[in-house]
Structure 1
Amino acid sequence: MTTVPRRFEILLVAAFTEGDGAPPAPATALRSAVVEATGDTGASGYPRYAGEGMEADIDPETLTVEALLVDGAEIDYGLSVRVAAAPAD
C-alpha cells in the first residue's frame, strides 16, 4: 500500500529550467506555500492539497502538479510550479 504524503511545499517560479531535477530554493521562488492533504481527490484524480492561498492536485509519486489555483485563479503563462518536501516543523 502506498502512503500519500500529508504535506508538500509548492514553489511558484518564473520559468522551468533544465537542471539536476532539484527544486529551486524557496528563497528564489516568486511565491511558496506549504500545502496539506485535504483528504479529497481533485478533478485530475490525484490527491488535493491546500494551504496559504494555494490549492493543488499533486501526483505524490512523480511530484507533478496536475492542477493549481493561486488565490482562486489559474497561474499565468510563463510561470511554473515545482514541488518540494515540506520543511520540518
Structure 2
Amino acid sequence: METFEVLIYPYNPQDMPPTARGPAVRSATVRPTGEEGATGHPRYAGDGVQADIDPTTGTVEAITVDGAELEDGWSARVADA
C-alpha cells in the first residue's frame, strides 16, 4: 500500500520562484482510499486531507484540507516528488 506525504504551502505570488516560498505550513500522510477522484486519479486521505494524486508522477491533482479547498495561490505537492 503506497502512502504519500503531502506538503501544503502558503500563498505564492506568480512571479516568486518556488524555492522562495518557504517551508510547508502543514503536512499530512495520506493513504489510498480505493476510490477514484473527480480527476480520474486515485484518491488518498489522511490527517484531514483528501487528495487525488497521480501515483506515477507524484502530482497532486486535487485537494481539500479539513473539508475545504485551498485558498487561491496556495499549493500542495508530494514530498520528494
TM over 0.5: yes
Tell me how many residue pairs correspond in the alignment: 75
CA deviation after TM superposition for structure 1 residue 18, in Å: 4.0
Report what 2:77 is aligned to: 82
Cα distance in 2, alignment partners of residues 71 and 18 from structure 1: 24
Question: Percent identity over the alignment?
Answer: 52
SS of the aligned residue for 1:44 comes to coil
Q: Is 1:55 matched up with 2:56? A: no
Give the TM-score, by structure 2 length. 0.81
Q: Alpha carbon RMSD of aligned pairs, Å?
A: 2.2
Cα distance in 2, alignment partners of residues 81 and 69 from structure 1: 10
Unaligned runs of at least 5 residues, structure 2: none
Give the TM-score, by structure 1 length. 0.74
Structure 1, residues 66-89: CA drift from partner, whole Å, max 9, x if none?
11000000000111111026xxxx
Cα distance in 1, alignment partners of residues 41 and 68 from structure 2: 19
Structure 1, residues 3-49: CA drift from partner, whole Å, max 9, x if none?
xx621000001237445xxxx99xx2111000001111111110000
Q: Is 1:70 matched up with 2:65? A: yes
SS of the aligned residue for 1:77 comes to coil
